[in-house]
Structure 1
Amino acid sequence: MRGIRVAARAALVVLGSWAVLVVLLVLPGVVFPTGWQWYIYSPASVGLWMLSLPVVPLFACKAASGWINPGRRVVTPHWAAAETPTAVAGKAITTRVEG
């Protein structure tokens, strides 16, 4: 059940980011005069918009990852569990990070 909820939230974020991209594509055509449509909808700008369709949802999912998967366990990498020196009052001490 949890996996379905995470997948549904991720799909919602992806669809929401696509909706925002479609609005951003259509909005200048409505706001600016018709003589500017060639510049607004040039092949380069439409190509960049099409390139943003698979890229923007990745950043949106990364930004909304706390909402998509709120109860995820934070896994400490193996290198972070090693002894790390810390400076306290001018002296270097060694602390062990528990993971």
Structure 2
Amino acid sequence: MEQMQIDPENLISIDFENGPYSKTIRTFRPDVYTEDGTYYALLGPDKATGILGSGAGPDEALLDWDKQLAVFISQKHSPDDPVAEFVFDTLGTSKKDVG
């Protein structure tokens, strides 16, 4: 799966191992960055097709991302959706559950 290229100056360093993060956040480690005063957490090639969370700070963006991941998992996806394939493969879900 392709990950969006983010300007290194906007990336926020997150200590996923020692922070108060869920198992899914620690597993997927979405990129956290700031843009126009908002913080984003993103897994995927862009904001439109990836899993995106946002908030007033990095932790808030990650919490929103975790909620968006749950919504993403509950939806039907095309078998050729690279984000869905990556997520379901990582979670150990059968590919038949993606289509």
* Common fold by TM > 0.5: no
Q: Which has the larger radius of gyration?
A: 1
TM-score range, shorter chain: under 0.3
As a proportion of its length, which structure holds more helix? 1
Determine which structure has the larger strand proportion and give its number. Answer: 2
Q: TM-score, normalized by length of structure 1?
A: 0.25
The TM-score with structure 2 as length reference comes to: 0.25
